[in-house]
Amino acid sequence: MSNYAAPIRDMQFVMKELAGLDRVAALPGYEEASPDLVDAILEEAGKFAGGVLAPLNFSGDQEGSRWQDGAVTTPAGFKDAYQQFVDNGWPALACDPEYGGQGLPRLVSMVVREMWKASNMAFSLCPMLTQGAIEALALAGSDELKQTFLPNMVSGHWTGTMNLTEPGAGSDLAAVRSRAEPQADGTYKIFGQKIFITWGEHDVAENIVHLVLARTPTAPAGVKGISLFVVPKFMVNADGGLGERNDAWCASIEHKLGIHASPTAVMVFGDHGGATGYLVGEENRGLEYMFIMMNEARIAVGLEGVAISDRAYQQALAYAKDRIQGKDMRVRGGGDVPIIRHPDVRRMLMMMKSQIEAMRALAYVVASALDHAHASPDANDRARNQAFSDLMIPVVKGWCTENANDITSLGVQVHGGMGFIEETGAAQHYRDARITAIYEGTTGIQALDLIGRKIARENGATVKAVIAEMSALDAKLAAQEGADFATIRKALAEGVAAVSACVDFILANFAKEAALVAAGSVPFLKLMGVVSGGWQMARAALAADALLKEGSGDPAFYRAKIATSRFYADHVMPQAAGLARTMLEGGESVLALEEAQF
């Protein structure tokens, strides 16, 4: 078992050199996010993640959460850790100061949340869902609902959930059958069952605020007839204290492949007369409001892909440095050496390291864009950054989580046979990562969103602007000396050409043959991820080279950044050509067989 040490040096580099922390801190409302304050926050968060959360990761997985008679008990240490989490003010980091938040940029909270997810993914899911519920209430809730629920949710004393899926419905929210009956006092009685509710019941906080999708009696059919309701576990009295138990109960929790410490609940509403709910916003606009939560959750789940990959890499690296086996191929007659000296082990570690750095960079750059979209005083700048983040969120979510499956698998492979043994902990990262490509819309759903809503609907305007920005890097790369930058330049140019060809294909064919385009949508999403990651790695190499020439900072870190970027160009970017060919030429074979031929 390895410890977790937050990769603060790389986080700082990405924030400052790629995501533009200085520009974010210049936005109205974010002025307090000075480099010194941010560095202090990262140091403290790293201590909490490594010292409090990480030691509970393995034990929490082994023990798991337990259900009995409608109540859920989390593993030993989780309740105390959550109390420390609240006492230290971590839930409020990026929340609105009006409700007790600290008002820091999303870029800062993104970095801190990576630490929670890497150190203990099961624990991190609780504040993640709460943050999504806070976002939805803050943007769509009435003033009364905000005042009643947000202060305690922002502080972390109450947690939040999102209740979408029902038995038989899956991702098809048009099939939601839960119902909401209006009452004379303006409230609603909620009846129905929801499944896969992350942290739907637990013992770490005093109240749970469920956001529930349901239909009113007059609702039209389909997704246009869904409304959103606040359904608290305990009612809230006029003085803000907790009242009687609401008719919202946990019927069971799931037995899962991974994240055993995170209770995934089956929630039943209204079995004893109806659960009291409060309408959020207007009737029949629930899906619109829920997408606020889902967008927040999607980028957060993409970050889980980054985080769990980094945890697996740290453990694999520690093992590779410690495990003695075999001879060094470059030393004649030498003794046995750590397996990190073996070329293929180095290749696997570099595949892990380079992709993690590319994923982290892309996620942080999107977080920075969201900050600009929220706080920029210039309307055009807000719109441009919102369009960029909307385009890239399905890429961050889909590409980072698919990579996490591969990277955590490599972590097991580096361990060899010991990776298949639960006691080492490598297998836990592999198991935990598997859900991330399913959460908040599978990779296929993200890919359909990318090609349909984000590219075809706007005739490719935003993606073409991104392609132009990628292409503009060519001149800077061409001005650099040495084989590393020549290789990076060539790989990026080929990757950009592959993306451009696929975008043209989407725009030419989506309206007339959507299924043909959809057949290659996941390969295209991966292509977008690979090339967008290569774009960020090229920027990172340029920034590292400039800092080396200045003679400031850590030269070894900067040289490693350039070498890692070169590795990414050599070993990851070549995937672009194959993914593009699959998108451009592979659709017909996907659709060729009749169902009986499978």
The runs of H, that is alpha helices, within 106-180 are 106-119, 121-140, 143-155
Measured CA to CA in angstroms, residue 70 lies from 199, 362, 522 at distances of 13, 41, 40
Cβ–Cβ under 8 Å, residues 338 and 347: no
User: How does the average pLDDT of the chain come out, rounded?
Assistant: 96
Question: Residue 361: in which H helix or E strand, if any?
Answer: helix 343-375
User: Considering the domain boundaries, does residue 272 fall inside one?
Assistant: yes
Question: In Å, how far from its chain's centre is CA 307?
Answer: 9
> What is d(CA 113, CA 131) in angstroms, rounded to the nearest whole number?
11
pLDDT at 223 over 90: no
**Which of these three, 244, 261, 284, is where a domain ends?**
284
Q: How many residues does the chain have?
A: 598
Name residue, tokens 């295209």: 524
Residue 334's pLDDT is 87
Residue 292's pLDDT is 75
> What is d(CA 303, CA 360) in angstroms, rounded to the nearest whole number?
8
Q: How confident is the model at residue 333 (pLDDT cuts 50, 70, 90)?
A: confident
pLDDT at 589 over 80: yes
Measured CA to CA in angstroms, residue 30 lies from 109, 198, 250, 470 at distances of 12, 31, 40, 28
Domain count, the chain: 2
Q: How confident is the model at residue 1 (pLDDT cuts 50, 70, 90)?
A: low
Exposure letters 542-556 (e unless 16+ CB within 10 A, then b): bbbbebbeeeeeeee
Q: pLDDT of 268-312, one tens digit each?
A: 999 999 999 999 999 999 988 888 778 888 999 999 999 999 999
User: Considering the domain boundaries, does residue 43 fall inside one?
Assistant: no
Residue 138's pLDDT is 94
- Contact partners, residue 126, CB within 8 Å, separation at least 6: 82, 159, 198, 199, 202, 204, 262
**Which of these three, 252, 284, 316, is where a domain ends?**
284
Average pLDDT value for residue range 209-238: 95
Residue 170's pLDDT is 64
Q: Is the pTM of this model over 0.85?
A: yes
Residue 406's pLDDT is 98
Measured N-to-C along each axis, helices 521-550 and 555-571 cross at an angle, to the nearest 10 degrees, of 150
pLDDT at 86 over 80: yes
Residue 133's pLDDT is 93
What is the set of active-site residues? 440
pLDDT at 171 over 70: no
User: Considering the domain boundaries, does residue 597 fall inside one?
Assistant: no
Cβ–Cβ under 8 Å, residues 349 and 414: yes
Q: pLDDT of 361-410, one tens digit each?
A: 999 999 999 999 999 999 999 999 999 999 999 999 999 999 999 999 99
> What is d(CA 214, CA 386) in angstroms, rounded to the nearest whole number?
29
CATH number at residue 133: 2.40.110.20
Q: Which two tokens stand for residue 154?
A: 């922002």
Least confident of 227-236, 290-299, 348-357, 562-571: 290-299
User: Considering the domain boundaries, does residue 465 fall inside one?
Assistant: yes
User: Considering the domain boundaries, does residue 408 fall inside one?
Assistant: no
**Which of these three, 284, 317, 332, is where a domain ends?**
284
User: Considering the domain boundaries, does residue 342 fall inside one?
Assistant: no
Expressed as residue numbers, the domain containing 217 is: 54-88+120-284
Q: pLDDT of 120-143, one tens digit each?
A: 999 999 999 999 999 999 999 999
Q: What separation, in Å, do the N-terminal and C-terminal C-alpha atoms of the chain show?
A: 43
Average pLDDT value for residue range 485-509: 98
Residue 65's pLDDT is 98
Residue 222's pLDDT is 86
User: Considering the domain boundaries, does residue 98 fall inside one?
Assistant: no
Enter the DSSP assignment of 215: B
- Residue 1 burial (CB count, 10 A): 13
> What is d(CA 404, CA 529) in angstroms, rounded to the nearest whole number?
13
Residue 172's pLDDT is 67
Q: pLDDT of 442-464, one tens digit each?
A: 999 999 999 999 999 999 999 99
Residue 97's pLDDT is 96
Q: pLDDT of 45-79, one tens digit each?
A: 999 999 999 999 999 999 999 999 999 999 999 99
Residue 291's pLDDT is 80
Average pLDDT value for residue range 200-226: 95
User: Considering the domain boundaries, does residue 175 fall inside one?
Assistant: yes
